[in-house]
Amino acid sequence: MTDLSALSQRLASLTGNRTSTPRLRDGVLTLVLDVSGLARDARVAMAEAVEREARAVPGVEDVRIAQTAEKRDRAIVAVASGKGGVGKSTVSANLAIALAKLGVRVGLVDADIYGPSQPRLLASEGEKPQAEEKQLIPIRGAGVPMLSMGHLVQPGQAIAWRGPMAANALGQMIDARWDDAEVLIVDMPPGTGDVQLSMIQKHKPAGVVIVSTPQDLALIDATRAVNLFEQAHVPMIGLVENMAGYACPHCGEISDPFGSGGAESAAGVMGMAFLARIPLSIAIRTASDAGTPPAAGTGPDAEPFMALAGRVKEWLDRRQA
């Protein structure tokens, strides 16, 4: 009769105590392997190593491994605005990349179902995610795992879906196989419609970042977005002022085509943290259109996004503590 105690000890050492006590019956060895928090490649490699070790035991003719994983408590950070055209998607993409540079295990969901921008911003247009056990497997853009409706339809195809269909698509992306991601940045569609309500009710964001330009009209719309999330008791991480100040590339003079300081003032009035001021920059615009987000590099164009990520990370660390 095969003694399985030595095998059990070897497997515990090999996997870091992730295996159950192995059982052998009629030549078939069965065990449970805990793969919580492991990326797909790591899960496959560990299961193969366990099987090799088990098959080396006399009397073992077949090995059956049941993999199990604990559902991780990911923090969902929604990036929202009250209106379109304020650069919310650019902020979302660069925030995700900057957080990754700070050591946060992060994923990016493009929840702007009707106007997905992230495939262009992260140079992943035309890529199609695979599925495993009815879960989507994120693709990578600029080194960050991501999913977008733009990956699921043909480029340029109009998406004419009613609210429930859009909400279901959002759920599939959020519940995808994010492996060890601890934070999901969700680029929300503009406004306060069905997708926002579904996000709040079903997926319960840990917090929200509001993006606005300095102009009064954008701030009025941003206030509506703030009210929506506050009514749902979603904590406010803070407000970002985008397109704030333009430095002429020829003379260096600063002008303010959208006004100046409006979002910071509004944050003070609403009792919110002011997170960052991001300039109106040709370099940021051209880099984003080219699929090379500024936060992925270094220099002055990356600095405001790194500052934003630092403040969001501090907020997440306080929440965790």
Known binding site for ATP: residues? Answer: 82-89
For 67-162, where are the alpha helices, taking DSSP H only?
88-101, 118-121
Measured distance CA(104)–CA(94) in Å, rounded = 13
DSSP secondary structure letter of residue 295 = G
Degrees (nearest 5) of the Cα angle 148, 193, 108?
25
Q: Name residues whose C-beta falls within 8 Å of residue 312's C-beta, 6 or more positions apart in sequence.
A: 77, 95, 99, 209, 237, 275
On whether the CB atoms of residues 62 and 29 are closer than 8 A, the answer is: yes
- State residue 72 phi and psi, 5-degree precision: -80, 145
Known binding-site residues equal: 82-89
Instruction: Give me the helix-helix angle, 303-320 and 88-101, nearest 10°.
Output: 70
On whether the CB atoms of residues 184 and 145 are closer than 8 A, the answer is: no
Candidates 240, 261, 248; CA nearest to 89 is 240
DSSP secondary structure letter of residue 21 = P
Assign 69 to helix, strand or coil. coil
* Helix (H) or strand (E) segment spanning residue 46: helix 40-55
Tokens read off for 217: 């009209």
Tokens read off for 67: 């993999």
Measured distance CA(135)–CA(208) in Å, rounded = 26
